[in-house]
């Protein structure tokens, strides 16, 4: 799967409000997937920081795409658990998210993501998820 393939899967399989985050797939392979979310006014909350909901949605989406990179094709997995740890305010021009599949079995996959501010490289959040496989 290429970044172009993953971008098409994003467009074809995700809800319209997720597409409103304007995520772009930076890289994808069987070891990890990276996305970029530009920080625009509609994602910024009081204090000039990115909304936690936007960070969580980026992490969840990137982990689902990481499963596609891991398997080589889009998998309509469902998020069973999602835990996000907010470490510092996310500011700047964009948030980068790097996700990987830690383990995939017959019915579940386990994923991890790290979100960082593009301008500083500082980690703003981490997330883990359990994904139910079809």
Q: Are 55 and 124 in contact (CB under 8 A)?
A: yes
Specify the DSSP element, H or E, that contains 130. Answer: strand 123-132
pLDDT per residue of the chain (134 residues) written in tens, 0 to 9: 999 999 999 999 999 999 999 999 999 999 999 999 999 999 999 888 999 999 999 999 999 999 999 999 999 999 999 999 999 999 999 999 999 999 999 999 999 999 999 999 999 999 999 999 99
Q: How far apart are CA 68 and CA 77, in angstroms?
A: 10
Domain-by-domain residue ranges, the chain? 3-132
| Proportion of the chain in helix, strand, coil states, percent, rounded to 5 | 30, 40, 30
Tokens of 108: 């579940």
Q: 3-132: CATH homologous superfamily?
A: Hotdog Thioesterase (3.10.129.10)
């Amino acid at each position: 799967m290429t970044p172009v393939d993953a971008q098409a899967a994003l467009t074809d399989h995700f809800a319209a409000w997720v597409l409103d985050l304007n995520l772009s797939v930076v890289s994808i392979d069987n070891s990890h997937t990276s996305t970029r979310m530009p920080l625009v006014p509609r994602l910024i909350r009081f204090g000039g920081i990115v909304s936690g909901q936007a960070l969580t949605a980026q992490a969840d989406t990137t982990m689902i795409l990481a499963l596609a990179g891991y398997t080589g094709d889009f998998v309509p997995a469902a998020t069973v658990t999602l835990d996000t740890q907010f470490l510092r305010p996310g500011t700047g021009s964009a948030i980068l998210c790097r996700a990987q599949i830690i383990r995939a079995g017959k019915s579940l996959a386990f994923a991890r993501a790290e979100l960082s501010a593009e301008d500083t490289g500082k980690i703003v959040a981490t997330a883990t998820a359990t994904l139910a496989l079809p």
